[in-house]
Chain A
Amino acid sequence: MNKLDALFSDDKLALIFYLTGGEFPLEETLKIVEILVESGADCLELGVPFSDPLADGATIQEAMQIALKRDTSLRDILELAKEISKRFQMPLLLMGYYNPFYQYGLSRLCQEAKERGVDGLIVPDLPPEEAEELIESVRENDLRTVFLLAPTSDEKRYKIVGGVTTGFIYYVSVKGITGEREELPKDIEEKVPRIKEVTGKPVAVGFGISKTSHIRWLRDFADGAVVGSALLGLLRKYEGETRFKVVRDFVSSLSKETIKTIGLKGFVE
């Protein structure tokens, strides 16, 4: 069984949230996840801290620095995944850079991740051409792959990425790194349906997603949306009960906008 297989539907945009594992102590992290789930999150992406996260902007870089100062290891993240999947049913992804995964051992990583309730892996610095070994380990352990496409990708890339994706395609909304943005590029509206058509795979849009207006726009042509830096920004800005309330309000406000208004199919068969 893999929980990712039931993540996407024809009538609702899936809301995926990103947290850097180890930025907060375990109990606090579990409380945050509980609030995410209660307020309408559909999936969680758990970030593995790395010293040199070159696809990430300032917010996630800082989260990783904090996690590393707290001596967070990949083993700790796997234990965190276990605690989360014990309590909550939603699909769980590990997002991490390749070197820490490679040093841990890809086969061992995938096996232990599966045992702890993880459903898929995202490795932002591992394009399909270099991913043979990872794809093999992911497949052997009934996990799913999530590969990325970007505004610079052409149809040839769509086919390559579509061919090895077993979870969903993560469409990077902008030329750039992670971080909140006011406006998203208009061409997402044409690119995402085209990617779905070429690959036959569900597509979630990430990078810069931070507003209800973004969700309202994406819901009718994308299958999912990933929110990272905007959430981390709130978690860092507020403390105590206020923090939990602010996060609850933020996630609920996004969640309210996820019901699709037009009868678009989730993806083309």
Chain B
Amino acid sequence: MRKKRDEIGDGAEGLGPELGRLWASAPVPKAPSWFAARTMARLRREEDSRKSWFGMPKWVLIGTGLALLALGWFRWESQPTIRDAEVYAALNALVEEDRESRWWAGL
């Protein structure tokens, strides 16, 4: 029967008996006996490093800190500024008030 384009050939299903035997002669390494214990220890180390301060994730604390800093910065920037003219006007008003008081007191 003529082969169709899609048929790859006799190698398609595997290496074949002889090559397969050769391939199998090189053993696949097995995990060392401590592998599971070490992996679990690594998992705990990673989880601990993520939850380090006050049992909270680092990113939550860092994020909160940054948010507070940003809030402080914006509030500082948006507080009302006092111009020199306003200061002089206020001082003049005080002086004026003082003169009037003196006049009423007959001084």
Decide if A and B are genuine partners: no
Q: Which residues of A approach B to under 8 Å, CB–CB?
A: none
